Structure formats: C-alpha cells, structure tokens
Amino acid sequence: MDLKAEIKKLLKEKDAVLLAHNYQIDEIQEIADFTGDSLGLSIEASKVQQNTIVFCGVHFMAETAHILSPEKTVLLPEIEAGCPMADMITGDKVRQLKMEYPGVPVVCYVNSSAEVKAESDICCTSANAVNVVKSLDTDRVIFVPDKNLGHYVSRFVDTEVILYEGFCPIHERVTKKEVEVLKSKHPDALFVAHPECPPEVVDMADHVCSTSGVYKYAKETDNKKFIIGTEEGVGYRLRKENPDKEFYFAYDSFKCKNMKKTNLKKVYDALVNEQYKITLDPALRNRAYTSIDKMLQVPR
C-alpha cells in the first residue's frame, strides 16, 4: 500500500488537515499540509476550513489545538506520544507554588498540560517568553516548567524569575564539551541553540532562537556551516531550504523519542479509525484558553 497516497486520499475524504511539528520524521513532514512549532501549528489549525485536525506531535500540542479550536475534531495519531518536560509539573504543583508565593504571577511555557495552563496566569513560547515577562507589571514571576528557558528569560528582564526544576531531557543533554569539539572541527560554523539548552551551552551560541527561528537564521545568514542545538527533525527543512549549506547537530542522536513515535502507518490508522480524539472538560479548556489568549495579546 502506498501509505502517503492513501493518507492524502483519506485527508480529502474526511475533510481533515495534516499538521506536523518540526521534530517529526521526514516522511511525515513531507506530506503535511503545514509544519511548524507547537503554537504556530495550533494557530494555523484554528484558521483552516477543515473540520478535523490530525496533529503529528506530542499530547500537549494536540491539547493546545483543541483549546484554540474546540469545535473541531483533533486527532493525535500516537496516544503514547507525551512530553517528559510537560509531565514534570501538574496543576496541583502550580497551586502549591502560588500558595508559596502569594500574588506572584505564573508564566507557563506552552510545553505544558492544559491543567497547568489553566492554573497559570499567562503562557509563553520560546519566541515570546521575554516579551511576555516584560508585559507583566510585577517585580517577580514564577516560571514553569522549563528552568533553562526561565534562566534564558532572566538574562533580559529586571523582573526576578523564580525557576521551577523542569527541563527537556533532549535539550538538557547537550554539553559544553560536545559543542567545543564540534566547533574546533568546524571553526567556520555558527552555533545556534534553542533556549531549552543548559545556560552554559546557550552562552556559547552565536544565535539563540525557537525552532522557527532556526530556519530563518540559516536562510538569512551568509554562512555555509551551522551547528544546530535543537532536535534533529529540523534538519529536514534546513537541508531542503539550504541545499548548499551544511548542518551538524550538537550531539549524536539529538532526538526526541516521543516525537519519533508517530509514523505513516499511525497517521493512516488515525484517519481510518478517527483516533485518538483529544478533548478536555469545557471549564478546564476555558481556563487554559484564557492563559493562551493573554499571551497572544503580547507582541512577539
């Protein structure tokens, strides 16, 4: 069976759109209607005509798509695709933090569950986190769950950023030593890091940005070689858009295994069986929506 052709056919038949996160396997990115970062895809999903969204990513991303488009059917082809960083904090934990620091607003990275978003005051992405914190009229914020993104933000604001002990195991894994070795091997390469990387790695970067920022930087920078400090799925579009440039990943197998759980067969099954539907209790969805909506009012 030609899975790609079958998927295309089913997408039409079922009035569905296929979204793929930048960290998905190449074959999925190849046939997706849209590729992007978690928030960009959810915003895209809210604008499309189709009634069904097949979200190739991890659970919190499909939840975000549902939060922004509750009237649409959101399908996550692999129900086991979770995010260890998002799982490092719960709604209860946020409530506890709020009791510990009364009156201090909670900023939560979109890489978090709906329950955590609902308990927070405002969301942020890696692209707008600094502006989100600056937009709050306060001298302290609680930042959850990513301590590395929180630390990165603290470099640019006067606000005291109270960090939580969460992290992305894939980005946390990059070491200064590995980047040094790559830099000495490719002295003319520029190093781009995602702010989920540890602070000492971020310190070494020529440029720090979100996944979408990586594409823009590689395209617009007049340099032939880049060391990439984020998940290797971005390599698909980087190589496609810059065939004359070279990309090296900051460590071998810079791979999110949850992102790689989705494959063509699972997307096919998702369409045939209309699985797995991601929904939320409407009251929870509304509260999570408020935090996302507040973020959307802040300029990027």
Contact footprint for ligand SF4 (CB under 6 A): 58, 83-85, 111, 168-170, 231, 256, 258-259
CA-to-CA distance for 11 and 177, rounded, in angstroms?
A: 46
Write out the H or E segment, with its range, that includes residue 109. strand 106-109
Looking at beta carbons, which residue is closest to ligand CIZ? Answer: 37
Q: Which does 84 bind (CB under 5 to 8 A by kind): ligand CIZ, ligand SF4, none?
A: ligand SF4
- Distance in Å, CB of 273 to ligand CIZ, minimum: 26
What b/e string do you get for 108-134 counting C-beta neighbours within 10 Å, with b at 16 or more? bbbbbbbbbbbbbbbbbbbbbbbbbbe
CB of 280 to ligand SF4, least distance (A): 19
Nearer to ligand CIZ, 41 or 280 (CB): 41
* Beta-strand runs (E) in the chain: 16-21, 34-36, 52-56, 73-75, 106-109, 122-124, 140-144, 160-163, 190-193, 207-208, 225-229, 246-249
Q: How many whole angstroms separate alpha carbon 121 and alpha carbon 138?
A: 12
Q: Angle CA(88)–CA(237)–CA(213) in degrees, nearest 5?
A: 60
By CB under 6 A, name the binding residues for ligand CIZ: 37-38, 110-111, 125-126, 168, 196, 211
- The one of ligand SF4, ligand CIZ, none whose footprint includes residue 73, by CB under 5 to 8 A per kind, is none
C-beta closer to ligand SF4: residue 7 or 86: 86
Min dist. Cβ of residue 263 to ligand SF4 (A): 16
Q: Which is nearer to ligand CIZ, 24 or 271 (CB)?
A: 24
Residue 38 Cβ vs ligand CIZ, minimum distance, rounded to whole Å: 4
Which residues belong to the annotated binding site for iminosuccinate? Answer: 21, 38, 109-111, 126, 194-196, 211
CA neighbours closer than 13 Å in the CB half-sphere of residue 144: 28
Contact 139, 119 (CB under 8 A): no
CB of 57 to ligand CIZ, least distance (A): 8
Binding site listing for [4Fe-4S] cluster: 83, 168, 256
